[in-house]
Amino acid sequence: MKAIKNLFTLVFSVAIFTACVAQDAQQNKTDLSSDVITQDDQAALTPQAIIQGLKEGNERYVNNNLTPRDYQAQVKATAKGQYPEAIIISCVDSRVPVENVFDKGVGDIFVARVAGNFVNEDILGSSEFATAVAGSKVVVIMGHEACGAVKAAIDGVEMGNITAMLDKIEPAIEMTAGYQGDRSTANNDYVTEVVNNNVVNTIAEMRKNSPIIAELERNGEVVIAGAFYDLDTGKVTFLE
């Protein structure tokens, strides 16, 4: 009899527990953000407001306070169209998870990635699509601390298709020729200087080789910004 009573208590407890968990899950689901950028939202945003939003999103990332999202709701809400606010051109480095870095969800930003975050014809074409066709108003060229591609370019690595890729970073090394001190990859400060000059050079290349984006920038419809991602903290510093 006692065993039956215990069994009944156990079954009853499990039922209560299950009900509580289900209620919690329901509760939490309603706390998830399902907001996506609409055409009207995109039209109302200014480049300055978008950059401010990227900075605030990065602050949430640094503070481990990312927006909880209902990704499936965002997937459904964006299936018929996209109105992203920006395109981020980033290195492929696995430690730079771009959407998370800016606390962005489905449909919020375009991301173009290539080792060493330079621009070529294809990345420029992607950027023209993002801005002139899809309406994004900000282009961010984002380098990062201790970039392996930049280090390999400094070391003069030659290997397969990597050789031609690293040639694109060469101008940044030339721009840093006046650096006082150890100009080798053993010197993190020097590597950071080359990373930042690579961003500056990439912005200049974009202005020179994409008349479409250069004109959007002249008209104030698009802002091109440089940025640096700190591997130790996750913080993004916009280069002024």
> Which chain residues interact with Zn ion by CB under 5 A?
91, 93, 147, 149
Q: In what order do the strands lie in the sheet with 86-90?
A: 109-113, 86-90, 138-144, 223-229, 236-239
Residue 229 in contact with residue 145, Cβ under 8 Å?
yes
Residue closer to Zn ion, measured from CB, 125 or 148:
148
Q: Please, what is the angle between helix 211-218 and helix 121-128, to 10°?
A: 40
Q: What is the smallest separation between the CB atom of 145 and Zn ion, expressed in angstroms?
A: 9
Distance CA 138, CA 85 (A): 7
- Phi then psi for residue 142, to 5 deg, are -115, 110
Residue closer to Zn ion, measured from CB, 74 or 196:
196
Q: What is the smallest separation between the CB atom of 147 and Zn ion, expressed in angstroms?
A: 3
Residue closer to Zn ion, measured from CB, 73 or 175:
175
How is residue 35 written in tokens? Answer: 């907001």
> Would you call 69 helix, strand, or coil by DSSP?
strand
Q: What is the smallest separation between the CB atom of 146 and Zn ion, expressed in angstroms?
A: 8
Residue closer to Zn ion, measured from CB, 89 or 149:
149
Q: What is the smallest separation between the CB atom of 115 and Zn ion, expressed in angstroms?
A: 6
Distance CA 81, CA 140 (A): 22
Distance CA 210, CA 153 (A): 25
Residue closer to Zn ion, measured from CB, 70 or 93:
93
Distance CA 37, CA 40 (A): 8
Q: What is the smallest separation between the CB atom of 184 and Zn ion, expressed in angstroms?
A: 18
Residue closer to Zn ion, measured from CB, 147 or 203:
147
Q: What is the smallest separation between the CB atom of 228 and Zn ion, expressed in angstroms?
A: 12
Distance CA 199, CA 239 (A): 9
